[in-house]
Amino acid sequence: MKIARSLLLFCCTATLFCALALGAPQANDGTGAYASGHYRDLFAEQLGHSPQESRAKIDAAFQQLFHGDKDHQALYYETGSNANGPLAYITDVANKDARTEGMSYGMMIAVQMNQKHEFDAIWNWANTYMLITDPTNPSVGYFAWSMHTDGTPRSDSPAPDGEEYFVMSLYFAANRWGNGTGIYNYKAQADRILSLMRHHPVQSGTPPFRLKPDRSPFVPPTRPGRPANTSAHTVGPMVNEEAKMILFVPGGDRNNFSDPSYHLPAFYELWSRWGPVEDRPFWAAAATTSRVYFQKATNPTTGLAPDYANFDGTPRPSFNPNSANFSYDSWRTASNWSVDYSWWHKEAQEPILSDRIQKFLLSQGVDNFVDQYTLDGKPLSQRHSTGMLATTATASLAATPGNTSKTFLAALWKTPIPAGEQRYYDGMLYMMSMLHCSGNFRIWGPR
């Protein structure tokens, strides 16, 4: 009898271990796509378009944004090779730079599209030029957020949204394609960055700083009336331990507030399962914190969130005149909470937030709403932006199905692929939103 009981206990334990290793649903997995494996195709559900029609649109967008006409369509540019293989960058055409934001978005799009060549080329460029390796730079180990496309720096410090998307795209790549060696050991690279985001030592130094030990120091251009900053600069982790949330930047006078659009609870849940073991409880708590933060930071009538906010959710006036208003960063916030709802179904308030922002913007006219507002809904610009339309359509993943949600999806469906000078941000958000709304932006879990 003792042998039988021991054998039964062993079998149950082994079954549980295998289930956990394979990512089988657990009690805290919610009821969204992670647990069910079902990704909603909103274009089919609400507009009647076939998966084949959606795939044709997505393939056309990838072809244009990555391999279209270099002067008017493409964002992806290959630029030679090195010992690690081909090099390529994603560029903000209007500002003539490459940003960790766009580079990491490009990698995420590539892994979702199963385009390993483009993924590896972008990652190679990021490591070759953006990765800070000079030990005297307080940001060592992070990636400089903005670079000239010739590989020379426009900054010497990071922006956490780039690191967040680097991490998530690398985990997906490891799970979809398997790991290689060096910089192409995707899981090891993701683990390194994710651990550093929480455990980066607090370091100080006096600028100018180098990105690489053998490169010239980066000297920021001075502005009239603003002398060069030569005071000591301190950098530490990208998260606030007490608040359990991502920071706007990990150092200096911008170290004590956040950016609601940097909050990615859908990703944090995965990191609490796949990331370094010692950090998993932190990311699980951060996911819960972000869900509450969305509710605190958004206006209770319009659903609009500010670009930057304090840890209590109140708007944060800063160096940017629009930082306390709904502006370019803010476009992404509704998409973030809606993807979280789609994947996890853990926060009942997220559909309410989606309904709120869609109702307000529909009142402005689905083809006419502008891309910047005060939080209570006063227009601050005249431009109607594809990227903002796209992320608001993605909010339909959480919104109540009906005429309002359908109107935004129909508007995205008929919108042309972004081209011209503004194609960078609009194009990246358009591409990811098309993947989300068609059910083609998926969690690639461990094999």
Report, as residue numbers or ranges, the catalytic residues: 101, 329
Contact status, residue 188 vs residue 179, Cβ threshold 8 Å = yes
Q: What's the Rg (C-alpha) of the chain?
A: 22
Evaluate the omega torsion of the peptide bond into residue 208 and state whether it is cis, within 30 degrees of 0.
Answer: yes
Q: What is the DSSP letter of 276?
A: -
**Rounded Cα gap, residues 245 and 32, in angstroms:** 23
The H-or-E segment that residue 409 falls in is helix 403-414
**Rounded Cα gap, residues 134 and 155, in angstroms:** 14
Contact status, residue 167 vs residue 190, Cβ threshold 8 Å = yes
Q: Helices 160-177 and 186-199 sit at what angle, rounded to 10 degrees?
A: 150
Residues with Cβ < 8 Å from 338, sequence gap 6 or more? Answer: 350, 354, 394, 395, 396, 397, 398, 399
Token pair belonging to 357: 């922002």
Cα angle at 59 between 270 and 371, to 5 degrees?
Answer: 70
Question: Phi, psi (5° rounding) for residue 183?
Answer: -70, -15
| Strand partners of residue 379 | 373
| Strand partners of residue 373 | 326, 379
Query: What is 294-360 written as a DSSP string?
Result: HHHHS-TTT----SSB-TTS-B---SSTTTTSB-TTTHHHHHHHHHHHHHH---THHHHHHHHHHHH
Q: Are strands 97-99 and 146-148 parallel, antiparallel or unpaired?
A: antiparallel
Contact status, residue 73 vs residue 423, Cβ threshold 8 Å = yes
Question: Phi, psi (5° rounding) for residue 205?
Answer: -165, 170
